[in-house]
A and B are shown apart, each in its own frame.
Chain A
C-alpha cells in the first residue's frame, strides 16, 4: 500500500508534511530575495519598512554592472552557438559510427561534466596565463564551452536515438545528396533536441561562476563574477536585485523549455 497515495493512511500526512516543509525550504529563500530587492532597507531588514525601485535603478545605471551584463550575454550567445554546432557534430559522429574504443571516447566527451569545476578552472587558468588568454572573451568562451558541450552532446544524442535512421536511407535512395539528407531530414527531426541543448548551454554559461572567476580581469567580467566579488565585500541590496533578475530570466527560459517539451510530445 506504500505506493498508493489514497491508501497510505496516516503515513500520508507524514509524507505531505515533509514535502510541504521541503517545498517551503526550497521556495522561500528565492521569494525572500525577490522581496528584499524591492525593499528600501540598506541593511536588508525583513519585512522591509518601505518599497523602492532604487536598487534596480542603481544596477541598471551603473556602467560596471551594465558592462558585466553585456559580457555575460555576449559570452552566453557565442557559447550557445558553438556548443550546439559542435555538440551536433559530435553527437552525429557518435550515433552514426561503430569503432573500437567508441564508449571510451564517449566517456571522455562527458568527463568535463563530472570533473570538479575548480580543478578545470585552475588548470585552464595556468594554461591561459601562458597563452595570454586570461581576461579575454576567447578565454571565457573556451572555458564555458568545455563544460557546456557534454550537455549538448547528451541532449542532441538522445533526440538522435529516438530518430529512425532508416528515414535517412530512404531519402538517400530517393536521390538526395548526403548534405541534403542532413539538412532536410535529420536536422528538422532533431530540432527540439537542439533547442533544448541551446537553452542548457546558455544557462550553463550564464550561471557559471568558478571558471569565470579565474578567467576574469578587472576590465572584463561576467555578471556572476561581479556578484561574487561584490558579495565578498558586503551584502548590498543591489545584489538582491541582480539575483532577482537572474531568477526571472531563468523562469522564462524554463517555461520556454517546458513548452518545447510539450511540443515534442505531441
Chain B
C-alpha cells in the first residue's frame, strides 16, 4: 500500500513544486515594480543629476570637496558620528552585559524601557531634549542649583546638543543586538578562565571582550552608519551653524534648489553608508541591521 500511494503522490508533488517555483517569481512582481519605479529610478536620477547639472562633468564633486563650508560639514558629520559611537559603546556595553545576566524579572524591565525609548516618536524625544537642554532648561537649572556652574551652559544649537540627543537615540540600537551576542556566550568559558586563575580584569580582556567583539564591531558600525545619515535630531538640536551632511542635502534642495550639488552630497553619503554595510555583511555576518537614518 505505501508504495502504491507514493507512486501516485510523487508526480503530484513535483508538479506542484515546479509550478510554485514560477509562481513564486510572479508573486514578487508588484513589489519589484514598485521599488523599480519609486525607489531605484528616483535615486539613480538624483545621482545622475550630480554629474549632469548645471553642465556635464564632475564640478559638483570638486565644489563639495574644495569649499571650506562643505568640508566643515563633512568634518562635523564624521566627528559627531564617531563621538556618538564611542559614547554609545562605553555606556552600551555594560548595559548590554547587565541585560544579558540580570534575573528575568529585572531584565524584562530594562528591556521594556529600551523598547519604549526606541519606539517613542523621534520628534517627541528630540523635543524633550530641546526643552531639557535650553538656557532655562532643567539640566542647566539643576547644574546651577548644585553649584557646578555659575552661568547657564549653551547646550543646544551646537554639537554638544546633537551629541547628547543622538546618543539617546542610538543607545537601544547598540544595546539590543549586543545583548544577544553576550547571551550567546557560554558562561562556562568564563568559569574556566576563573578556575585557571585569571583575575576579573584578565577574564574581561582575554575572554569576554574577544568573544563579544563581533557583536561590538557590528553594533558600533551600525550606530556609526545610522548617525552619518541622521537628519531630524541634528537639524533640530544643532541649528544651522553646525550642519551635518543630511541637513546639507535637504537645505541644498529646499532653499538653494541646487540639485546637482545635492545629488553629489547624496552620492557621497550613499557610498559611505552602503560601503560600511557591505563591510559589515562581509566580515561580521548578517547582523541585525537597523533603520536608515531618520
Contacts and interface: CB of A to CB of B under 8 A. Distances in A.
Interface of A: 1-5, 8-9, 11, 14-16, 18-19, 22-23, 25-27, 29-30, 32-33, 36, 43-44, 46, 86-87, 89-90, 92-99, 105, 108-127, 142, 145-147, 149, 153, 169, 172-173, 178, 203, 206-207, 209-210, 213, 224, 227-228, 231-232, 235, 239-240, 243-244, 246-247, 250-251, 253-254
B94 A15 contact: yes
B217 interface: no
Nearest to B185: A3
Contacts of B290: 113-114
A116 B208 contact: no
A5 B45 contact: no
Contacts of B121: 206-207, 224, 243, 246-247, 250
Given A115-B273, A142-B38, A231-B236, A203 B24 contact: no
Contacts of A108: 35
B225 to A, nearest CB: 8
Given A22-B91, A97-B25, A29 B129 contact: yes
B34 A146 contact: yes
Contacts of B249: 118-119, 122
Given A23-B113, A209-B123, A231-B236, 14 more contacts: A2-B208, A5-B102, A22-B91, A89-B28, A116-B269, A122-B266, A146-B34, A149-B31, A206-B121, A231-B123, A243-B128, A247-B124, A253-B119, A254-B115
B138 A46 contact: yes
Contact of A239 (B95, B127, B230, B246): B127
Contacts, number: 286
Contacts of A147: 291-292
28 contacts: A1-B190, A1-B203, A3-B187, A5-B103, A15-B94, A18-B91, A22-B91, A25-B168, A26-B113, A27-B113, A29-B132, A33-B131, A89-B30, A90-B28, A92-B24, A108-B35, A115-B274, A116-B230, A116-B246, A119-B229, A119-B270, A120-B39, A120-B43, A126-B49, A126-B259, A209-B123, A227-B127, A243-B123
Contact of B292 (A114, A124, A250): A114
A228 B127 CA distance: 9
B81 to A, nearest CB: 12
A22 B277 CA distance: 28
Contacts of B203: 1-2
A97 B32 CA distance: 15
A86 B138 CA distance: 47
Contacts of B200: 1-2, 9, 11
B97 A169 contact: no
A109 B36 CA distance: 10
Interface residues of B, number: 101
Contact of B12 (A92, A122, A173, A178): A173
Nearest to A116: B229
Contact of B35 (A36, A112, A118, A119): A112
A1 B191 contact: yes
Given A32-B132, A43-B136, A93 B232 contact: no
Contacts of A254: 115-116, 119
Contacts of B9: 173
Contacts of B132: 29, 32
Contact of B134 (A4, A23, A89, A235): A235
Interface centre among B22, B122, B225 (most CB of A within 10 A): B122
Interface stretch (B13-21, B58-66, B67-75, B144-152): B13-21
Contact of A33 (B16, B122, B124): B124
A15 B98 contact: yes
A89 B113 contact: no
Contacts of B115: 254
Contacts of B294: 117, 209-210
Nearest to A87: B31
A138 to B, nearest CB: 11
B98 to A, nearest CB: 4
Contacts of B284: none
Closest 3 A-B residue pairs measured CB to CB? A116-B229, A97-B24, A243-B124
Contacts of B172: 26
Contacts of B207: 2
A44 B131 CA distance: 8
Contacts of B23: 93, 96-97, 178
Nearest to B246: A118
Interface string B91-128: 10011011111110000011001111101111111111
